[in-house]
Amino acid sequence: MEKWITRGVAALCAAGSAALFWTFGMFLAVPLREGRLLALDRIELQVIGVPLLTGIAVGWGALHLLGLADREKGNAENPGNAGPENGNVSTAPHKGRQLIYAAALLTMALAAAFGGMSWTQARIA
């Protein structure tokens, strides 16, 4: 049960990260369209940088929570036999699964950023 609660919280974090990357793409569209991406002033850098850095942090938190949920898998079946002294040493997350989670989160972040950019471009033109 705790594993699914942790995965649910990780899904909420991933959704928040997607929203932040969408916001990043939304604010990035205008300077990118005008060709002045390298000539931004301080306020524009903050408006673009805060969603980017916060989205990265929240996405990393989602990956960390998914790793914690994977570690709980071995302990959830036999809570009384959770320690390594009882032969349960499978508490490390599966590396292949972590790579799949990271690839899915990266794909989601890129799709959200491009979605925000296209949303802004549709309203400008």
Highest mean pLDDT among 78-82, 90-94, 95-99: 95-99
DSSP string, 13-78: HHHHHHHHHHHHHHHHHHHHHHT-TTS--HHHHHHHHHHHHHHHHHHHHHHHHHHHHHHHHHHHS-
Amino acid at 117: M
**Which tokens in the block code for residue 64?**
């960390």
Q: pLDDT tens digits for 19-52?
A: 999 999 999 999 999 988 888 999 999 999 999 9
In 10 A of CB 60, how many CB atoms?
A: 14
Predicted local confidence at residue 46, as pLDDT: 95
Distance spanning both ends of the chain, measured CA to CA = 49
pLDDT tens digit sequence for 97-111: 888 999 999 999 999
Token duo for residue 80 = 């009384």
Place of tokens 């959770």: 82
Backbone phi, psi, residue 54, to 5°: -70, -40
Q: Does residue 10 sit in helix, strand or coil?
A: helix
Query: Where exactly are the structural domains of the chain?
Result: 2-124
pLDDT in tens, 3-23: 889 899 999 999 999 999 999
